[in-house]
Amino acid sequence: MRIDLSGRTALVTGSTQGIGLAIATGLAAAGARVGVNGRSGQSVGRAIETIRGDVDNADLVPAPGDLTNDDGTAAVLTALPNVDILVNNLGIFGEQPALEITDDDWRRYFETNVLTGVRLTRHYLRRQLDTDWGRILFIASDSAIATPAEMIHYGVSKTALLAVSRGFAKTAAGSGVTVNSVIAGPTETDGVRDFVYQLVDESLPWERAQREFMIKHRANSLLQRLIQPAEIANMVVYLSSPFASATTGGAVRVDGGYTDAILP
C-alpha cells in the first residue's frame, strides 16, 4: 500500500518530540505539507531539522505557539489558516496520587489534553466541510479505557477525547471528512522513560527497567514491550489517507493488545 498525501496540508500539535514528531515525519514522508507545532520557535526549528534529516525534500511549515492560550492559538492559526489533516496530539501526563490532584491540576490537564483539540477542530472542521474532504484525529491512550490509578486526571482527559472525536464525527456525517481517535498504548518516548524511572528502580539499565515496568504496571500488554512512536505514526498516516475513507467515529487501537477487550 503506497500512501500519497501530496497536495494535502497537515498540522500536528505537540510535534517537536515523541509521538508527535514521529507523526509529523510520517506525514511528510507520505508527501504532505506538514505544520510543526511546539511552544517555542527554537523547539520547532530543531524538530524541523530532525524531520529534514529523515525525509528528503520535506515540505514543513513552522507553527510555534502555546495552544493553551489565545495568543499562541492565534499564532498557529495565522501560520496555517486551513489544513486538510489535523492531528490533535498535544498532551501532558505525569504520576500523581488521586487525593493530591488539585482543581488547578484537573483544569490544566483538561485545558491541555482536551480543549486545545476542541478549539482547533472547531476552526478547521468548518473549512473541511466546505471542501468536502478532511481528516481529524485525536491521539488518545489506553488510559482512556483502563484508567491508571497513578494518574487518573490524565486517564479522564483521554476518555473525554473518545467522546469528543465521536461527537465531531457526527457533525461531519454525510461528508468526505472523517474524525477518529487513536488509542495509543505504552510508547517509548523521553517523557515515558522518565515516567518509568519514577515507578521502578532508577539504577536499572533501560531494557531491564522497561521490562519491569511492563510486568508490574502494564501487565495486560500482549506486545510485552513499549511501542515505538513510528508504530503509532503508521496508523495515523493510514487514517489520514484516502484508504481510510470508510473509517470515522472510531477509536482505533494501536495499544499492543493492552486493552483487554474485543472492542474499544
- Give the residue numbers annotated as catalytic, written as ranges: 154
Distance, in Å, from the CA atom of 253 to the CA atom of 141, rounded to the nearest integer, reads: 9
Which phi and psi (to 5°) does residue 120 adopt? Answer: -65, -40
Distance, in Å, from the CA atom of 50 to the CA atom of 163, rounded to the nearest integer, reads: 34
DSSP 8-state secondary structure symbol assigned to residue 55:
S
Distance, in Å, from the CA atom of 250 to the CA atom of 227, rounded to the nearest integer, reads: 21
Q: What is the 3-state secondary structure (H, E, C) of 105-170?
A: HHHHHHHHHHHHHHHHHHHHHHHHHHHCCEEEEEEEEHHHCCCCCCCHHHHHHHHHHHHHHHHHHH
Count CA within 13 A, CB hemisphere, residue 232. 29
Residue 85 makes CB contacts below 8 A (sequence gap 6+) with 5, 8, 9, 10, 11, 27, 32, 134, 135, 136, 137, 240
Q: What cell numbers appear for 225 in the block?
A: 514491550
Residue of 21, 51, 64 whose CA lies nearest to 191: 21
Amino acid at 264: P
Distance, in Å, from the CA atom of 256 to the CA atom of 93, rounded to the nearest integer, reads: 20
